[in-house]
Amino acid sequence: MDDETRLDLSPLDPGADPVAWREFLARTQQRVDAVLTEREGPEGPMLVIASWRRRLLLAAAAALAMLVPAEIVLELRETRAERVQRLVAVSTHWGATPPTGAEFLRALSEQRR
């Protein structure tokens, strides 16, 4: 027999005694079950809240995704409307006489305030 041939180590094989090996696996499983139960822990109120945290965060993100663009559009509309209103107010201020550039700027800044 040369050194390239597999040695017969079967006397060390735990599977050679299947009953013993099954018992061993069963006892291991019992210990694992106990550990996994311990790992889960009791479901207290904090854990319930924690389990909802992800869903709440997703809902908040979705709401923000809808509200932010709407807010931007409203903001733009408002600004445009304000600008028109200001020009109307400035132009009615002088009646028929056209204002100088300085008067126009002053009137604009007053309106802004």
Partner 1 sequence: MDQTDAELVEAVRQGSRAAAGQLAQRHLHGCRAIALAIVGEVSGADDVTQDAFVYAMARIDDCRDPSRFRAWLGQIVRSRARNQVRDRKDDRHVPLEAVIPADSRPSPAQDAERSDLRTRLLAALRVLPEDHREVVLLHDLEGWTHREIADHLELPQGTVRSHLHHARRVLRGLLEELRED
Query: Which stretches of the chain bind partner 1, using CB under 8 A?
Result: 1, 3-17, 19-20, 23-25, 27-29, 31-33, 35-36, 38-40
Compare residues 10 and 97 and give the one whose CB is closer to partner 1: 10
Question: What is the rounded (10 degree) CA torsion for 92, 96, 101, 107?
Answer: -20
Compare residues 40 and 102 and give the one whose CB is closer to partner 1: 40
What are the residues whose beta carbons fall under 8 Å from the beta carbon of 56, sequence distance 6 or more?
A: none
- Minimum CB separation from partner 1 for residue 26, in Å? 9
Compare residues 24 and 52 and give the one whose CB is closer to partner 1: 24
How crowded is the C-beta side of 110, counted as CA atoms within 13 Å?
A: 10
